[in-house]
Amino acid sequence: MVENTSVDRLYQEAIAVVGTLEKQSELSLHISAADNLRKSLLLAAASHFEHKVTSVVADFVREAARGSVLVEQFVRNKAIARQYHTWFNWNDKNANQFFGFFGQEFQTLMVSRMKSHDDLRLSVKAFLELGNERNRLVHQDYASFSLEKTMEEIYALYKKSLLFVTDLPVALRECDAATRA
């Protein structure tokens, strides 16, 4: 079953609003709404992924620490809280920096996984592109920032990125099991 996330709902609502304004020949409102809703969609998608990826890492740490709340809280406070945007080199086309934080074994596993699964490689690339666009938006005068991507392009990047986010916990556990064997 495909999850209907808040990002999916926001996209559907945005399409409906923009479509209604277009049908009513409200050209100025149509343009303004489309511009603002694209920015909102981008922020929503990036925020959704930040929440998901940080949760994956926290869950993995808790599991690897055999349920230790102390270890999980230490990692949350020192490695997760306000650190997410430093985990990735957003301008890169790969997430090797992030993978490397889990050690050479995990980085090697993920590079190999992406070589054998083109869709995963493209998913990581889409994920990084969304994060990079989000950074540009929030750091380059949000109100006047000219976002070049359409709502459909942003949503397509979001959908393509989902594979990476859902594969990450699987890959972490596989690598951890292999290194313990």
pTM recorded for the entire structure: 0.94
- Our CA dihedral for 56, 57, 63, 65, rounded to 10 degrees, sits at -170
- Our CA dihedral for 149, 87, 174, 127, rounded to 10 degrees, sits at 0
Name the residue among 22, 27, 23, 35 with its Cα closest to residue 151: 35
> Considering the chain, what is the average pLDDT of its residues?
94
Name residue, tokens 């920015």.
39
CB 113 within 8 A of CB 174: no
Structure confidence at residue 93 (pLDDT): 84
CB 80 within 8 A of CB 54: yes
Query: For residues 44 and 151, what is the distance between their CA atoms, to the nearest angstrom?
Result: 12
Query: For residues 18 and 115, what is the distance between their CA atoms, to the nearest angstrom?
Result: 40
What does the chain come to in residues? 181
Written as six digits, the tokens of 40 are 């909102």
Q: State in Å, rounded, how far the first CA of the chain is from the last one.
A: 33
Written as six digits, the tokens of 25 are 């020949």
pLDDT digit string, tens, across residues 102-126: 999 999 999 999 999 999 999 999 9
* CA-based torsion, 154, 160, 162, 167: positive or negative: negative
Q: Which long-range contacts (CB under 8 A, 24 or more apart) does 89-93 make?
A: 90/128, 90/131, 90/132, 90/135, 91/132, 92/128, 93/125, 93/128
Residue 2 banded pLDDT, cuts 50, 70, 90: low
pLDDT digit string, tens, across residues 24-44: 999 999 899 999 999 999 999
